[in-house]
C-alpha cells in the first residue's frame, strides 16, 4: 500500500525543475533542427537500433551480441567525431550565431559594418555608380524590407558594390541594413515632396530624405552623376562628404547611439 501511495503522490516540482526541462527541450529541438535533412538523421536511426540491440542483449541471454556491441561503443565517440566533423562545425557555428552571442559581439560587428559601408560608398563614388544604403535604428523598417528582395546576408563592401552595379537586377532601389546584416535589396522608399531640396537631386536623394523624415533611420547616398557621397538624417541631407566625414558621422550616429546613447550622440541628435 505504501508503494501504491508513493506512486499516486504527485512529485514536488520546483521552478528549477521547470527551467531544467525547458533547457533540455530547447537543446533537443535545436539538435533536431541541425540534423534535419542531413546524413546525421540516418546515423541517429542506426544508433537507436544499436542501443535497442544492446538492451535486448541485456534482457535476454545474448552474450555474443552484448560483448560485440559493448566493445563497439567504446570507440563510438571517436568514430562520431571523425564522421560528423563537418556537422559539428556547422552546429557550433549555428550556436555562435544565436541571438545571445550576437549581442555580446554587437559593437565589434557594428564597427565592421560601418567600415564596409564607408569602403563601398567611396569605391562606388569613384566609379560614379549610384547607391542608397539605409541603416535601421530604433524604429523598424519591416514594411520597406518586405517591399524589396530579402537577402539576410553579411555586410561586405564587395557585395554592396555588386548589388548596385547597373547590370544587376537589384541596383534600382535601396539596401536596408538591419542588425548588422543586409536585410533586403531593391527596396522602395517614400519620396520626399519638400521644396527645400535642390532641383538637381535625383530620386535616390529624395527617397533618402523622405525615409528619414518618417523615422530615425540613416541613409547613405552615392550620386552617379557627380560621384559625391551624401547622408540623410532627420529629413536633412549632408552633401559632398569625404569617406572620413562619412565614417565619423556613422560612428557618431550608429555606434555611439547603440552603445547606450552616449552624450555625444544625443547632442548630435538634437
DSSP state of 132: E
Q: ∠ at Cα 168 (167, 171), nearest 5°? A: 105
The pLDDT of residue 44 is above 80: no
Could you list the beta-strand ranges (E) of 34-173: 131-135, 149-154
C-alpha cell at 10: 504527485
**Looking at residue 28, what is its pLDDT?**
81
Computed over every residue of the chain, the mean pLDDT equals: 81
**Given CA atoms 145, 151, 153, 156 in this order, what sign does their dihedral have?**
negative
CB 175 within 8 A of CB 160: yes
Integer-rounded Cα Rg, in Å, for the chain is 28
Domains of the chain, each with CATH number or no CATH? 2-96 (no CATH), 106-269 (3.40.1700.10)
Residue 221, C-alpha cell as written in the block: 547616398
For 49-81, write each residue's pLDDT tens digit.
Answer: 888 888 888 888 888 888 888 787 777 777 767
Most confident of 59-68, 132-141, 249-258: 132-141
User: What is the tens place of the pLDDT at every residue in 197-209?
Assistant: 777 788 899 999 9
pTM as predicted: 0.61
| Angle between helix 85-96 and 15-35 (nearest 10) | 130
Average pLDDT over residues 225-239: 92
Across 5-14, 27-36, 71-80, 213-222, the highest mean pLDDT is recorded for: 213-222
C-alpha–C-alpha distance, residues 223 and 16, integer Å: 59
Amino acid at each position: 500500500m505504501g508503494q501504491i501511495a508513493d506512486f499516486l503522490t504527485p512529485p514536488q516540482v520546483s521552478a528549477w525543475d521547470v527551467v531544467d526541462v525547458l533547457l533540455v527541450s530547447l537543446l533537443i529541438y535545436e539538435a533536431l533542427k541541425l540534423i534535419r535533412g542531413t546524413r546525421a538523421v540516418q546515423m541517429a536511426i542506426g544508433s537507436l537500433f544499436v542501443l535497442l540491440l544492446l538492451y535486448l542483449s541485456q534482457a535476454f541471454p545474448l552474450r555474443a551480441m552484448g560483448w560485440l556491441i559493448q566493445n563497439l561503443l567504446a570507440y563510438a565517440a571517436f568514430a562520431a567525431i571523425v564522421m560528423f566533423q563537418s556537422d559539428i562545425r556547422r552546429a557550433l557555428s549555428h550556436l555562435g550565431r544565436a541571438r545571445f552571442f550576437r549581442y555580446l559581439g554587437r559593437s565589434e560587428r557594428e564597427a565592421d559594418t560601418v567600415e564596409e559601408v564607408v569602403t563601398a560608398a567611396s569605391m562606388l563614388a569613384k566609379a560614379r555608380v549610384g547607391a542608397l544604403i539605409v541603416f535601421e535604428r530604433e524604429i523598424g523598417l519591416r514594411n520597406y524590407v518586405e517591399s524589396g528582395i530579402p537577402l539576410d546576408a553579411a555586410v561586405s563592401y564587395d557585395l554592396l558594390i555588386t548589388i548596385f552595379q547597373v547590370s544587376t537586377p537589384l541596383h534600382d532601389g535601396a539596401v536596408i541594413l538591419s542588425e548588422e546584416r543586409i536585410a533586403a535589396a531593391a527596396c522602395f522608399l517614400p519620396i520626399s515632396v519638400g521644396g527645400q531640396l535642390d532641383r538637381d537631386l535625383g530620386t535616390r536623394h529624395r527617397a533618402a530624405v523622405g525615409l528619414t523624415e518618417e523615422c530615425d533611420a540613416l541613409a547613405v547616398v552615392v550620386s552617379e552623376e557627380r560621384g559625391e557621397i551624401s547622408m540623410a538624417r532627420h529629413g536633412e541631407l549632408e552633401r559632398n562628404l569625404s569617406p572620413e566625414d562619412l565614417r565619423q558621422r556613422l560612428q557618431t550616429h550608429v555606434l555611439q547611439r547603440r552603445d547606450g546613447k552616449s552624450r555625444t550622440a544625443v547632442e548630435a541628435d538634437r
